Amino acid sequence: MKISIVNGNEPLVKYISVGNKKVVQVADYSKVREEPRHHLQWDVDITLEQGLPLIKKLFDEARYYQRLPEDRVAGFQPWRIVALGKKVTAKRFGLHPINNFWEHENPISQVQENDVNIGLLTPYYIVHLSNCSDKNLRQGIDHAQVTAYSNISSSLADFMAATLPAFTGQKETARTILTYYLDQILAPYQKPVKVN
């Protein structure tokens, strides 16, 4: 499996490619003073039932992140919010937070028929799983987007390896290679420190 980083047509855009196919678009906004970040997005083909455990894993993992003094939201307690959205546009997801999403006896039942996006918002990254066609989340997820404010290369590699169709059957190999490349891409940011 040949994974590489290739330049895009715009200076801020690169791609993670598998073979000759560009599978992940990476936009580098790390030099933006107000809110340095990287946007990563890719097409997926998973069900809501497959996507929810991936969001839950990230949600649980983020519980252990410690605040760094120079963090962009220093002074605030760690937070993790699951949100659902009824629209997907270029810059807006129309999200509404769902309190205690995972404490519900059947979390998937909270996803309404008109929800087209589920997101996880943390101080270190934001994850969106969406249905960008004219369908709802219950009919499948076809797009993933991550906004990274820190170096979450390992978590992101797990998430990508589980959702990118190019890695079907090769998740472990892909995860190792992706961690290496994502560590380079997200090098401008510190890794979150985990609390025991």
pLDDT at 1: 77
Which structural domain range is residue 79 located in? Answer: 3-194
Pairing of strands 13-18, 3-7: antiparallel
Domains in the chain: how many in total? Answer: 1
* 92, 160 Cβ separation under 8 angstroms: no
Alpha carbon of residue 2 to chain centroid:
22
* 6, 22 Cβ separation under 8 angstroms: yes
Q: Is the pLDDT of residue 136 over 80?
A: yes
Q: Is the pLDDT of residue 68 over 60?
A: no
Residue whose C-alpha is closest to residue 183's, from 29, 5, 2: 5
Provide the percentage of residues in the chain whose pLDDT is more than 70.
Answer: 89
Higher-confidence residue: 191 or 194?
191
Question: 88: pLDDT confidence band, cut at 50, 70 and 90?
Answer: low
**Cα–Cα distance, 49 to 142 (Å, whole number):** 13
**Cα–Cα distance, 136 to 141 (Å, whole number):** 8
Question: 21: pLDDT confidence band, cut at 50, 70 and 90?
Answer: very high
**Mean of pLDDT values over 162-171:** 89
Q: What is the DSSP letter of 179?
A: H
